[in-house]
Amino acid sequence: MFGFSALFGRSREVRRLDDALRAAGLHPNLVPDAVKIASLKLLKEAGHGGSPDLEACAEAAGMLAYCLLGDQGFGEENGAAGARALKVRLEAALEAGDSFDARLVLLTLHAGLTQGAL
């Protein structure tokens, strides 16, 4: 059976997030559509407007990719400096408790997508 996006195509925001996920080293098909849509909703709630731009999507995609790939996998795709930067963001998110990054981490945990090493 065809899904909604098969009939009408993917939204511009989802395509932007897919591009950002690819740039972060994660194939977009590894992220369920529900997680992508929830991530876009979190971006909108964080003040990135009704149609988050590529920079905002890249911010979300980086954290999603880090959570799904883990420190080592993310480091292989984005270099050691990129992995360190995301590790710092993750630690800050855990410390803050209720931030955009913390909500993304919680989303990946609830979806069962978070790498076990994290």
Assess if residue 98 is contained within a domain: yes
Assess if residue 20 is contained within a domain: yes
pLDDT on residue 1: 45
Assess if residue 117 is contained within a domain: no
Assess if residue 38 is contained within a domain: yes
Assess if residue 86 is contained within a domain: yes
- Classify each residue of 79-118 as buried b or exposed e, where b means 16 or more C-beta atoms within 10 Å of its C-beta: eeebbeebeebbeebeeeeeebbbbbbebbeeeeebeeee
Model confidence over 5-25: pLDDT tens digits? 554 557 899 999 999 999 999
Model confidence over 19-56: pLDDT tens digits? 999 999 999 999 999 999 999 999 999 998 888 999 99
Distance CA 97, CA 68 (A): 20
Assess if residue 57 is contained within a domain: yes
The neighbour count for residue 11, using CB atoms within 10 Å, is 14
Assess if residue 19 is contained within a domain: yes
Taking all residues of the chain, what is their mean pLDDT, rounded to a whole number? 91
* Count of structural domains, the chain: 1
> Which residue from 39, 98, 33 is spatially nearest to 67, judged by alpha carbons?
39
Tokens for 4, please give them. Answer: 């909604």
Domain that holds residue 77: 10-110
Percent of the chain with pLDDT over 70: 92
- pLDDT reading at 77 higher than 90: yes
